[in-house]
Structure 1
Amino acid sequence: MKLPKKLQQKLENRKETNALRKLGTVSNLVDFSSNDYLGFSKNDTIFNNAHDFLIGHNIKQNGATGSRLLSGNHPLFNTVETALSEFHNSESALIFNSGYDANVGFFSSVPQRGNVILYDEYIHASIRDGVQLSNSKAYKFKHNDLDDLKSHLERGREVSKDIDIYIVTESVFSMDGTSPNLVKLAQICKKHNAYLIVDEAHAVGVFGERGVGLVQELNLEKDVFARLVTFGKAMGCHGAAILGSDHLKQYLVNFARSFIYTTALSPHSLATIQASYNELFISKSKQKLHQNILLFKEEIKNNNLQNLFIESNSPIHCCLVSGNERVKEVAQKLQVQGYDVKPILSPTVPAGQERLRFCLHAFNCEEEITKVLKLLATFVK
């Protein structure tokens, strides 16, 4: 059957603006695009340890068999959630099937009618979708602009001193690699009696001692109402968890629909999460990653590309190349030379702010970093 006309027209509009998304294929290009910052997704030790753990505990089960509230709450969930709580210095942890599920579940259920959500304008799509499902009023503030946030807060408190206000940010933003001033943000939330939620998807495994994330690195755990940690990026596996109080966990188990009405993660996924966290205690990958970040920043300067790149201390570095057609053209040239660099198109980012997104990894070598930026300099000048 043909698509309805309105749907077909939306596809045609994407084609006309050179913004049509397509599924890619696995390539042998040098990886500057994946979120596998530490190389854990292909780590033999993690793979073998997860397998040995399952065999050692006589766990030979392919699937969860149901939701966690029915038949799928395998004893491994308690083991892994306890380990996560201890590692992240949190009272409780609740595992979700993905970061998307966790954000949608949290924001669709926790903020209530009459509450207010203030979110950074560059916040992840999963948070936006959760906010849309909530009954709260939601307002965006300018990216990492705490003065703009304060003006929103003050207006909200003028209306009512009793409403619950939730403030949402990311510790590392996925589309530009920048970070907010979390210390000042926590102080603002405390002053205005607001609840702070921090998505740590791109910080876990990358920042803090053993990769605990930016919130812990700054000793802000007690100032944050909820943290999201995901396992599909630096941790190299799959799933996510909401970190918070025991009462928050109990609430989410009862009201987060993306948790309640889905089949649970398999025991193998849980064993892999545990093995990945264990690897953080012994791996040198985090140190190598940060060496590569420093090298990349040096090479940006050596190639006089500072004016095109957004300042970042994270593994994510973005080179602004305006226009969908132009940024795709530059990305294609880099790919022809053997480097997997992806273009980020509008409407994912605002029109005029299209960019090349470079993701750095512990396994990228010095030659790869040096050469890709030399090539970039020839293509964008």
Structure 2
Amino acid sequence: MLKKFQEALNKRKEAGVLRTLKPKLSGIDFYSNDYLGLAGNEELQSQLLMKVQANPVLLSGSSGSRLISGNSNITDETENYIAEQHQYSAALLFSSGYNANLALFSTLPDRHDTIIVDEQIHRSVHDACKMSHAKKIKFRHNDLEDLESILKKQNGSSYIAIESLYSMDGDFAPLQEIATLAKKYNSALIVDEAHAFGVFGYGLIEKHQLQNDVFAALMTYGKALGAHGAAVLCNETVKCYLVNFASPFIYTTAAQDFLWISIKNGYEFLKLKPELSKKLHQNIKIFRDQNIETISSEVSPIQAIMVPDNHQLRNLQITLSCNGFLTYAVHSPTVKTGAERLRICLHSFNTEEDIAGLTGIIKEFI
């Protein structure tokens, strides 16, 4: 068995795509999901430190799952606050977005249902579908005609799974049009807002006021909010169903109250700091004005630059790193062969000089 594992690892190493864990690097950040710089914001950290000093018990372990000893008034208050902010009747907190997607798609659809997923949906949804007894069908990325052709063939109940902003291509789902199709064919639309929350206010569902058309939404807090964890937004019936039947919720030890306090405090901080999002969007425009070819939306904080060769891509990333720029290269087999890309994440704290230096090197390679 170990020999089989080692052979697989050796093949990846020979191809130059072996994943390894490295210490956090020092440099100019163009690779993290910390879009608004809140993960290291000193003002926000000071606020949280004051809360802990006033109430050290926030750091205590929860001691069990939420259905045993891990629930608290702070957890309930945070869920109510989140639901109110997003104009949903209920919210259910999870320790990560991955765990939340596992709960949603392994629990809600049953063996008689169909889950229709965008082909670029996050891996957590695909893994959840494996745990589900439902049938899974992929539709071509952002292709409304393909989605409708699949919906027309459904006899039973169906769910549509999309992201509002996709993390690999940095493009947006046609959210309003998909919501219209979901309503037309009586399908339950579930939207992952992981990369849109905080970057575009409270997300694109709120921007377009689609709360009544989106069956459930996922907000994650390890990106623009700079914290951790996630919330499923839904109605009270769906929340109660997840609490009763979702294994990833039932059998997980609850997080510390400090996490939930961090999330609530992060929401309040966002309200007071609209300039962070404004600065991010200014930086996105500065990047786009460099006229580098990208497949991404012109207003996305994620800019994917296609470099369809693992060797060339690796050399580009190494050159950038040697010049102090931290970027993320997405090699095959993470993406299809020929779809390798350099994934640039822009932030509110990047400077115009940073962006000029980064793009100058990229232009020499492509």
TM range, normalised to the smaller chain? over 0.9
- Equivalent residues in 2 for 1:17-96 (5 A)? 17-57=15-55, 59-96=57-94
Given that residues 112 and 136 in structure 1 are in contact (C-alpha distance below 8 angstroms), is that contact kept between their aligned partners in structure 2? yes
Given that residues 170 and 295 in structure 2 are in contact (C-alpha distance below 8 angstroms), is that contact kept between their aligned partners in structure 1? no
Say whether 1:292 aligns with 2:283.
yes
AA in 2 matched with 1:71: S
- Counterpart of 1:250 in structure 2 is 240
**Quick one: which of 333, 336, 341 aligns to 1:355?**
341
Say whether 1:226 aligns with 2:226.
no
Task: Tell me the distance in 1 between the aligned counterparts of 2:295 and 2:352.
Answer: 19
Given that residues 219 and 232 in structure 2 are in contact (C-alpha distance below 8 angstroms), is that contact kept between their aligned partners in structure 1? yes
Following TM superposition, by how much is the alpha carbon of 1:56 offset from its aligned partner in structure 2, in angstroms?
3.7
Task: Tell me the distance in 1 between the aligned counterparts of 2:295 and 2:120.
Answer: 17
Q: 1:45-76 CA distances to partner (integer Å, 9 max, x unpaired)?
A: 22222232344456354211111011110211
* Poorly superposed stretches of 4+, deviation over 6 Å: none
Given that residues 169 and 295 in structure 2 are in contact (C-alpha distance below 8 angstroms), is that contact kept between their aligned partners in structure 1? no
Q: 1:175-196 CA distances to partner (integer Å, 9 max, x unpaired)?
A: 1110111111000000000000
* Aligned sequence identity (%): 42
Following TM superposition, by how much is the alpha carbon of 1:19 offset from its aligned partner in structure 2, in angstroms?
1.7
Unaligned runs of 5+ in 1: none
Given that residues 46 and 272 in structure 1 are in contact (C-alpha distance below 8 angstroms), is that contact kept between their aligned partners in structure 2? no
**Quick one: which of 251, 255, 273 aligns to 1:265?**
255
AA in 2 matched with 1:180: A
Task: Tell me the distance in 1 between the aligned counterparts of 2:237 and 2:43.
Answer: 36
Task: Tell me the distance in 2 between the aligned counterparts of 1:60 and 1:144.
Answer: 43
Given that residues 321 and 353 in structure 1 are in contact (C-alpha distance below 8 angstroms), is that contact kept between their aligned partners in structure 2? yes
**Quick one: which of 179, 185, 190 aligns to 1:186?**
179
How large is the RMSD of aligned CA atoms in angstroms?
A: 1.3
Tell me the secondary structure at the aligned position of residue 48 of structure 1. helix
**Quick one: which of 322, 342, 356 aligns to 2:308?**
322
TM-score normalized by structure 2? 0.97
- Counterpart of 2:163 in structure 1 is 170
Q: 1:13-72 CA distances to partner (integer Å, 9 max, x unpaired)?
A: 212322211112212210000000000001122222223234445635421111101111
- Counterpart of 1:123 in structure 2 is 121
**Quick one: which of 279, 282, 299 aligns to 1:313?**
299
Say whether 1:374 aligns with 2:360.
yes
Given that residues 254 and 260 in structure 1 are in contact (C-alpha distance below 8 angstroms), is that contact kept between their aligned partners in structure 2? yes
Query: Are the structure 2 counterparts of residues 147 and 223 from structure 1 closer, same or farther at C-alpha, using a change threshold of 3 Å?
Result: same
TM-score normalized by structure 1? 0.93
Q: 1:133-179 CA distances to partner (integer Å, 9 max, x unpaired)?
A: 100000101111111111111122xxx2xx11000000000111101
Task: Tell me the distance in 1 between the aligned counterparts of 2:64 and 2:53.
Answer: 22
Unaligned runs of 5+ in 2: none
The farther-off stretch of 51-60 and 119-128 is 51-60
The farther-off stretch of 180-189 and 3-12 is 3-12
Tell me the secondary structure at the aligned position of residue 289 of structure 2. helix
